[in-house]
Chain A
Amino acid sequence: DARVTQTPRHKVTEMGQEVTMRCQPILGHNTVFWYRQTMMQGLELLAYFRNRAPLDDSGMPKDRFSAEMPDATLATLKIQPSEPRDSAVYFCASGLGSIVGGGAWDQPQHFGDGTRLSIL
């Protein structure tokens, strides 16, 4: 079965360091999402891309977070500088969005295993 692949699975680093998380979406999917899961907030959407273009990143702290898709097979989420409050599990998901119109009729998203990030 096709899977969304995220690396690394775990990351522990000191505050102030740069963190880069990578995601390989399922081949052919045109939409990529980044979510963050914490005990306090549950699942939050950070950003998402359609055909590699960022459509919404309003959930992402702009001063330290950045998300990019350098090509259709790679999405990255960077935190610089990292802070202890960034500790969470970060999920990437991909999906096949509608080409024409769409609205609510996109297909379900497929999630990766997540990156468990701990900032000391």
Chain B
Amino acid sequence: AQSVSQHNHHVILSEAASLELGCNYSYGGTVNLFWYVQYPGQHLQLLLKYFSGDPLVKGIKGFEAEFIKSKFSFNLRKPSVQWSDTAEYFCAVKMDTGRRALTFGSGTRLQVQP
């Protein structure tokens, strides 16, 4: 069955540290890829998305992600995190099957210490 894996469940960083959150999926067909963020007490927001073209995509708030098709990965990066980046991050994959919904990873809780 198709699945999305986020191996880092809880990440703790100091401000100004670099961030990379892993996301891998298991599906050999065409995909759309997303990263969503959920700040404490708030709803999910779209950070960035990949549909086609340049595999390095830039999103809001200085985040970027790189699609590596051969590795079935879509890792999220930020060169220098801020305390305000403390949130839960979800990777999501939309697969070109008949089931037109997103498959989410289990999420990564990021805690940035001042």
Contacts and interface: CB of A to CB of B under 8 A. Distances in A.
B32 A42 contact: no
Contact of B101 (A42, A56, A103, A105): A56
Contacts of A113: 42-43
A109 B46 CA distance: 8
Q: Give 3 nearest A-B pairs by CB, closest first.
A: A104-B96, A43-B104, A111-B44
Chain A interface: which size bin?
A: 20 to 34
A61 interface: no
Contacts of B106: 42
A43 B90 contact: yes
B34 interface: yes
A104 B43 contact: no
Contacts of B103: 45
26 contacts: A33-B102, A42-B90, A42-B107, A43-B107, A44-B104, A45-B101, A45-B103, A50-B100, A56-B99, A56-B101, A97-B100, A103-B30, A104-B31, A104-B32, A104-B94, A104-B95, A104-B96, A105-B51, A106-B32, A108-B34, A108-B49, A111-B36, A111-B44, A111-B45, A113-B43, A114-B43
Contacts of A114: 43
Given A48-B100, A93-B44, 10 more contacts: A43-B104, A45-B102, A45-B104, A48-B101, A104-B29, A104-B31, A104-B32, A104-B94, A108-B34, A111-B36
Interface of A: 31, 33, 35, 42-45, 48, 50, 55-56, 91, 93, 97, 102-106, 108-114
Given A33-B101, A50-B100, A56-B101, A105 B43 contact: no
Nearest to A40: B106
A73 B105 CA distance: 29
Range of interface residues on chain B? 20 to 34
Contacts of A50: 100
A112 to B, nearest CB: 6
Contact of B46 (A33, A91, A106, A108): A108
B43 A91 contact: yes
